[in-house]
Each structure stands twice: as C-alpha cells, then as structure tokens.
Structure 1
Amino acid sequence: MADVDTVIYLRQSQDRTGDELGVARQREDTRKLCELRGWRVVAEHSDNDTSASGKRQRPGFEAVLAAVQEGRAACVVAWDMTRLTRNARDRLRLLELGKRHGLTVAFVRGTDLDLSTPAGRLTADILGSVAQHEIEQKSDRQRRAALQAAEQGRRIGGRRPFGYEADGVTIREPEAAAVRDAYEGVLAGVPLGRVAADWNARGLHTPQARFTHGCDGACPASVRPRACPKRTATEPSEWTAQTVRPVLLNPRYAGLRAHVTEALREVMDPRAARLKAIVGPAAWEGLVSEETWRAVVELLTDPSRANPARGGKGLLTGVALCGVPECGATVHRGAAPARRGREGHATYRCRAALGHVGRAVGPVDWWVTEVVIGRLERPDAALLLADDKRPDAVKLRREARALRTRLDNLAGLLADGTLTETGVRRESAKLRAKLEEVERQQADAGRADILGPLINAPDVRAAVEALDTDRLRVVIDTLMTVTLLPPGRGVRFGQDVAAWERTAERISASIVIDWR
C-alpha cells in the first residue's frame, strides 16, 4: 500500500521546559515509518504539553479528524495508540470516521489497523480501552500520592510560587518582602491596585511566562494560548489587582498546606476551594503568621467588598459625609469649574447630589490631619490601644490544628464501627462549626494595629505626615466620623497653610468631628 496520503499526529502529555523534545522524537520515528512504507505525508499535526484524557481540547487531533473527514488523508500515523487517544469520546469519533472513510491507522510501536473492517475497529477499541484504563489507574495513584503529600505538608511540584524559588520551599527574599508588605498594607487599607503598582515598581513580575498564539489563527477560538502547538513565550506579566488577590489568599503564605479534591473542584473555583481544603501545616516556612493571613482573607472575601469603592486621591474620599440634612452620603474629590479666568481647584463634593456640599480640599485636609495629630499626641492616647480581650494567637493555632486532626480521624472511626454514618455527619458538623469560630478569632488576632506605631512614635507629627494617603485615610476612619457642612457664600480660606492657620476657627466651624 504505497503512495498513500498520510497525516502524522504527535502528542506529548507534559513538556515543562517547552523544548518539544518528546514530539521531536516521535516526528523522527513516524517519518521514518512513512518513508519505509512509501507513504506520502500531506500534513503533520501535534499537541505538545497536552493530555489526551479529554479534559482539554486538542487542536492537533481535531485537525487530523478534519483531514480524514474532508478526504485529504487515507492514513493516520502515530507513535502508539496512547499518543492518539485515551478517552472513549475521542476514540468513538475516530472509529466512526474510520468506518465511513476507510481509514487506516498505523503505529510506530504497534500494528496497522484498518478501521473500515469490524476486526480493525474491535482491535482499535480494545487498545483504546487499555490506554484509557492505564490513564485512569495512573490518575488514581497520583491522587493518592497527592493526598499523602498534603497530609505530610510536602509540595509535589507545579509552577514556582511568588516569594519562593522553583522548589517552592526556599524563600526568595526580594519577593517575600513584597508579599509581607502587601499583607500589612491591605490590613492598613491599601487597595490591591496600589499593591500591584508597588510590586511592578520594584521590578517584580508574575512567576509564569505569558504565551501567545503562533498559529496565525489556525487554533479554534476556545483554545488558550498555552495550549497552542506553536505557542510563543513572552515576558512575565505585570501585576494587577486581579492577580495580586489570589496570591494573598493562598494558604501557603501562612505556612499552611491545602489539598483541593476533585469533588471540591466540581462545586467551586479551585482558588476558593483552597480556603476550605486546609489539611495542616506545610513543610515550608510561611511568610506571615496564620493570624495575619486569616485577617486578610476575611477582608478580601467580605461580600460587601464584591465591588469595593475606589479610595481615590482625596484623603477623605469615601470617608467624610455630606452634612446636608437627611443626606449623609460620602464625598469624593473633584475639580471646581474655572471661573473668570481662574483655574478650578480641587474640591470635595457629595456623591448623591451636585448641589450639596462643595468644599476646597486643601483647608479641609489640613484641619482634619491637625485634629488627628492633636488626638494622638494627647497623654491619654495610649488608652486607644487598650484591648484586654485580644485573642491568644498561639492557643488558637493549637486549637485549630487539634480540630483538623479530629476531623481527619472521623473516617477511621466510621471504618472500625466506633461511629455510624449519621454519627460521623453530626460530629463533623460540630467540629467544623468550632473550627470556623476559631478561624474567625484568628482573623481578629491578626488585624494590624493601625494606631500603635503612631502613638508610640518619638515624633507623632512626623509619623502621621509620613503616612501615604491610603493609610492616613484608614487612621481617620478608625478614630472619627467627619461630616462636611457647606461653608456659606463668599467664604474663602486661602491657598496655603499660613492662610489656613489664620482662619482655623472658621474652617473648623464647618467640619463636624464625631469621635468613635
């Protein structure tokens, strides 16, 4: 059977380095087979770094089927059946095409199969079933090994996590310092977008390289760039608020090991599932305490933050309230319109109505900041830090570990008959409720002390003036409620601190401070 139009198919399940050495070996062997048989190779398709289990689309395999369907090929050559198909759905599609179009499938490590005959289809079906059985057994072994590694706190590979070297254990200090700063900043009110900008300014990028299609549109629209057989690696991406968030929610940074099962993946996003799937301490060192991590998790997963208001550039944006009776909306920073040839100046305006409060930003910010400094410089400022009910972090950590161990042991109690299935469910519900309460207390224990570093500073004024806008905004919101009243017609406070000091009494008369 010489001079047959043939399509070569190549596939490698994993190619972490991207050098395509696996498909290169298959290419050499399959072309040598075609040359020996005298077959004419009309096309070659490959799916590098792609599993054939059926969870991801294989553009190369789809192209092979299309070539057979359109009559452009009468033979398909692969290294062996496991390279061609390892799931029932793809195998059935191949067999049906083979029956209709008289397809022959040939393997470097195997025999030729004429799919136009019942015997050929039966043999192909048996070989495919064996390949599928092999991958399912391998998957079972891998799941059991992954569970054992999780229970022992070990890492079993994957992409390099930000803050660590490729082994996932050794700390990469420049990135680790950025992660620690981010946890502290988020608890102090810094938006995730500012965290991302800070990481980018430090020259830090995401650990994973980006990929772009290199197939000139040959891949279907649903195929991700990483799955493209001719993909091109580019520089790692810069950070955004959306990519920073999952980093801070990852339990690994608290030195905790999570194990997300297939059952959890089916009911929730894998990143959210990690928060529910913590099995115990990890073998690597965390970058922050468990209490700090849980405090950030509670903050970032709060439903009220699903669409958080932007802090903006104004110190009192989203914090100060409109003083018009029965309004109470927050204010935002804007620019007053230019008049009589003068440029507009920055103003705070009510979010709810244009005709409500309109106050110049400069004197308001100066006065509120002076009030904050005055309060923190008072002799009784230390009373603001009094907290006799602060949770014991070490005790809570021990209690959480004990509860997780008891949950793990419930399966053994069911197996040996100590507890019935109903009893296990009831006991599990009780233990999980206790664990949730302990984790909530851990989050409380990990909240950053906003006022402590300021009150204990040698120079309170210098410490307050050194704060960036986001952190000072949180300090103001922690100490007081600010309400801005209309200043009245024709009232001017000047453009500099000297002028504001002269009119301080008039400025304060239209700003209401209610201490929390």
Structure 2
Amino acid sequence: MSKSKGEVKIEQQEAQGRALASAHDIEVTEIYVDDGVSAYVFADRPGWAQMMADVQAGRLDVLIAQAEDRFTRQPMEKETLAALCAGSGVTWLTVNDGALDPATADGAFFSTLRAGLARMESQRKSERQRQSNDHHAERGGAQRGGVRPFGYEDDKVTVRESEAKLVREAYASFIAGGTVSGIATRWNADNVLTTRGSRWDINKVGKILRRERNAGLVRHRGAILRDERGEAIRGEWDPLVDETTYLAAVARLDSVPRHGGRLHAPKYLLSGIAKCGACGLVVRSFKDGQRVERYRCTVHDGQGHKEKGVRHVSIRVEDIEPTIRDAMVAAVMFAPSDALSDRDTAEVATLNVRRGEVARALARLVELVEEEVFTLAEIAAKKRKLSTEADDIDARIADITQRSARAAILAETSADLWADSSLTTMADKRAAIRARFDGLPLEQRRTLVRSLLDITIEKGRGAGRVRVTHLVATTLNSEADPYVEEQPEAV
C-alpha cells in the first residue's frame, strides 16, 4: 500500500484489502506499507523492497491491493514484479482491477497496459500541477505549501512585524559592514527561533538575506520571474526591504572573503579596520608571548609582500582603543545624521530605470540571434558591453545603499545617545556618549567605526602614532580640540 496526495488513505486501503481477502477466503499473512511515498517515483520504499524479497523467497501466494498502481506506477518496476510473481506462482487480486495472473499472456498484457496508463495519468497530473503553479507564480502568487517564511504569517502574505523588524535590521547591519555570524549570535542571544523552531547559524541567516521574496520578487523554478519587458514580477505580499537593499546585501554576500564558506564575526573593535602605516594592509588582533592583546599588520599572517627592511606595525590594544573611542565620541556628536541626500535618492531612481533598460536589451539579444539581424560575434560583443554596464550599475547602487544603511545606523545611534536631556555640559555629554557607545554590541560599534573613521597606525611607540581621519564629521580633521568648551572672555 502507498498513498499520494489526494488519494485513498492507508487505513481505508487496508480495510478494503482485508474485505477482499475475506471474500475470497484468503488468509492475510503480511501487510506492506510505504505511507507518504508515491508509487510513481523511484524512491527508497522499504515496504516494496520487503514485498519483492518475500515474493522471490516463495512466501506468498497472492498480492492484494486497492489497485495495481498501488504496487508501482513505473513500467520497469511493474515488469520486474510481474516476472518475479510469474516465476514464483504468485497472482494478483485488486479491488479496482480484479484478479490477474502475470504468468499468462493476458495477464502480462493487461499488467503492462495498466502500468503504462497509470504512468501516463501521473505525468498528466504532474503537468497540470506544474502549469497551475507556473500560472500562479506568474501572477505573483505566494508559494503553495512548504514552511512559513521568516517574517510572514502562515498565509505567506501577511507580514509578521516582530520578525520583519529583525530582517530589516539584519539587512542594514550586514550592508553596513556587519557579519552573518554576528546576526546569528544576536538572534540566538535574544531567543529568536527559525520558523522550524531551531536556533540560527550562518547558513540559515545567509538564506534569509538571499531570499528574493524579502524584496517582493518572485522566484520560481530557480529564477526570478520577469515579464515580457524584462521587469521583475512583483509578489502579492508586502516586501520587507526594497530591491536595492536586497541587491546590495547579495552583492556583499557574493564578494566578502570566506573561510570554509563562513562569515565569522571579529572579536576585537579594530580587527580588519585599522591599517598599517608601512604598507596599507589592515591589522588583526593577536596575543604576544606575554599574552598581551595587540593588533599587528596582517603581513605577519602571510598576506601581502613582506619587503626586507620594512618594519610593519604592532600596537597594544590598550594603547589604541581609548583614542578611537574618543574619536568616536566626537564623530557621533558632530556628524550629520541624514541617511541619503536627495541627489543620491534621485540617482538610485535613475540607475534603476537604466538597469531595467539594460535587462530588456539583453533579453532582446536572443531575438536578434533568431532573426539573424547580427552575426554571433556582434551579438557576443553587444552582450559583453551590456553586461559590463549592468555590473557597473549594480555596483553603484550597492555603494549608495551601503552608505545609506551606515548613515541610518548612525542616525539611530546618535539619536539614542543624545536622548538624555539632563546632560548639560559638554563633559557630561562626552561621558554619557562614551558609556553608551561602549554598551553597544561589538558588531554595531565596528560598523560605526568603519563608517566614520579612517584609522592608520604609524611606526613608533605608544598611542601618539595613531592617525585618525574623520570620514563624515570632516570639520574635526584639524588640530583644534573639538571637546574644549567655550570659556567666557576675561573682563
């Protein structure tokens, strides 16, 4: 017995089989069940395998089923079963098809005929289902069946805001320089579970960031669906992020260095951010022979070219991080908090329009090949040119989106740090901002540092060799001390 979706339940099949056996005075000695496995597919079917072994061993006289296609819908398997039964003297008795002896000419003929008809009906059913699914997807319908997508309710259309907020924050954090590992760690710490009730890891978070439906796009049969104009078909559900944000996250996922396919979260504030003044490579954290925490140029880890006579930098963590925290306090206090300028917003809109034009032009190339308007060499040249332009557009959009995400994080953090209206003096504000900055998650602190500061460690000793350039609060790039409060003039 086996059951496919929409067919007679296993319990009913067994009851019908037992009634048929009783009517023919046949003793039931064994029941073979492959519940949930279609008789149409070549799958691992323990019940089928045991039945075949028992037939071959001569333990059975009659096989009883609701119909012959409950044995199998694969003609090759049906012929194998018929040959074994003919050799062992086993006959068939089914509710729908009656008695059959596969050892006779008529029995072999009707067995083969019914197997072919069953397979044809299964194929037709599959074709109808595929056509229905294709039509449903082309209209932007949500995927049928399967597990509820994170961020949406069970209907796969209604947004579950508590999860949607986490997804949006994850995109913003990742685009702004965060890590997949950091997102997973944060969600697990907050006891956020997947829709299957399990904990998060980097693979699961990566799938969330790559999920096209989050941007309202429809993925079907392994591709984003587009209309005849080359424009993406939009789903019936509300997107969690805009398409630009989604593409920027995917671009970073595809470009960020991987170690065994993983995106690990650094454990120190300036790892991979501060640079060596001797060669320009970034520094990484390590512990020296005295177990002192330090940053050193990654040339010592085999990166870059270590030239003879060039002394690459190393600095104790305690000698550089206080300086960076002071610089961050100033950056948060004086940096503008607008996320995207009107000029950038307009540029993104223009770029998206052009991206659609390029996509349509690429689709048109296929028609030009069929119409033999250009030679294959000319078509290839045009395709390379359009593909290069598309890549340039995507890179520009990703750059603007990344700047927007970082600025949004800065604006949110800055507003939070300035929220306490009881702080009156500059010293009080500096102390409060420093304390609140230190209280932020490491990933967010790193995002802010990377967004606001360019840090270079020069050769020498102590903290005085740390050179900081402000990327946003550029008015601070001077020798004046921005922290000194104005003093009243002497009378």
Does the TM-score normalized on the shorter chain lie above 0.5?
yes
**Where does residue 328 of structure 2 map in the other structure?**
372
Give the conservation status (yes or no) of the 8 Å contact 1:481–1:513: yes
SS at match of 2:250: helix
Correspondent of 1:255 among 195, 216, 222: 216
For 2:114 and 2:217, how far apart are their aligned partners in 1?
A: 43
Of 194-203 and 24-33, the range deviating more from structure 2:
194-203
**Where does residue 401 of structure 2 map in the other structure?**
446
Give the conservation status (yes or no) of the 8 Å contact 2:285–2:293: no
1:363 corresponds to 2:351: no
Q: Which structure would you say has the larger Rg?
A: 2
Q: What aligned pairs does 1:103-502 form with structure 2 within 5 A after superposition? A: 103-159=90-146, 160-208=148-196, 236-260=197-221, 270=222, 273=223, 279-302=232-255, 304-305=257-258, 307=261, 310-321=264-275, 328=281, 330-334=283-287, 336=288, 344-349=291-296, 353=300, 359-375=315-331, 377-378=333-334, 388=343, 392-394=347-349, 420=370, 422=372, 433=387, 442-447=397-402, 448-451=404-407, 453-454=409-410, 457=414, 462=433, 464-465=437-438, 467-484=440-457
Gap change, CA 1:420 and 1:21, over 3 Å in 2? closer
SS at match of 2:30: strand
For 2:411 and 2:166, how far apart are their aligned partners in 1?
A: 26
- TM-score, normalization: structure 2? 0.73
1:284-335, Cα deviation, whole Å (9 max, x unpaired): 1111111111111111122744745633211122333456x5694631244x
- Work out the number of aligned pairs and report it: 434
1:458-493, Cα deviation, whole Å (9 max, x unpaired): 5576274454222222333344554446765xxxxx
Gap change, CA 1:395 and 1:55, over 3 Å in 2? farther
For 1:167 and 1:356, how far apart are their aligned partners in 2?
A: 58
Give the conservation status (yes or no) of the 8 Å contact 1:314–1:333: no
* Amino acid aligned to 1:140: E
> In angstroms, what is the RMSD of aligned CA positions?
4.1
**Where does residue 5 of structure 2 map in the other structure?**
14
1:39 corresponds to 2:26: yes
Aligned identity (percent) is 26
Gap change, CA 1:279 and 1:102, over 3 Å in 2? farther
**Where does residue 225 of structure 1 map in the other structure?**
none
Give the conservation status (yes or no) of the 8 Å contact 1:105–1:112: yes
Higher strand share: 1
* Amino acid aligned to 1:283: E
**Where does residue 421 of structure 2 map in the other structure?**
none
For 1:126 and 1:431, how far apart are their aligned partners in 2?
A: 56
Gap change, CA 1:422 and 1:121, over 3 Å in 2? farther
Give the drift of 1:168.
0.9
For 1:408 and 1:61, how far apart are their aligned partners in 2?
A: 48
What residue ranges of structure 1 are gaps of 5+ in the alignment? Answer: 1-9, 209-235, 261-269, 339-343, 489-505
Give the drift of 1:129.
0.7
Gap change, CA 1:513 and 1:68, over 3 Å in 2? farther
* Amino acid aligned to 2:444: R
Of 348-357 and 105-114, the range deviating more from structure 2:
348-357
For 1:55 and 1:445, how far apart are their aligned partners in 2?
A: 51
What residue ranges of structure 2 are gaps of 5+ in the alignment? Answer: 302-310, 419-429, 472-491
For 1:239 and 1:175, how far apart are their aligned partners in 2?
A: 13
Give the conservation status (yes or no) of the 8 Å contact 2:181–2:263: no
Of 351-360 and 183-192, the range deviating more from structure 2:
351-360
1:18-63, Cα deviation, whole Å (9 max, x unpaired): xx98222222222322333333434333222323332643333233
Gap change, CA 1:285 and 1:24, over 3 Å in 2? same
SS at match of 2:159: coil
1:165-191, Cα deviation, whole Å (9 max, x unpaired): 221111222222222221122112222
For 2:158 and 2:165, how far apart are their aligned partners in 1?
A: 14
For 2:300 and 2:459, how far apart are their aligned partners in 1?
A: 13
**Where does residue 305 of structure 2 map in the other structure?**
none
Give the conservation status (yes or no) of the 8 Å contact 1:77–1:107: yes
Give the conservation status (yes or no) of the 8 Å contact 1:391–1:441: no
SS at match of 1:47: coil
Give the conservation status (yes or no) of the 8 Å contact 1:291–1:445: no
SS at match of 1:450: helix
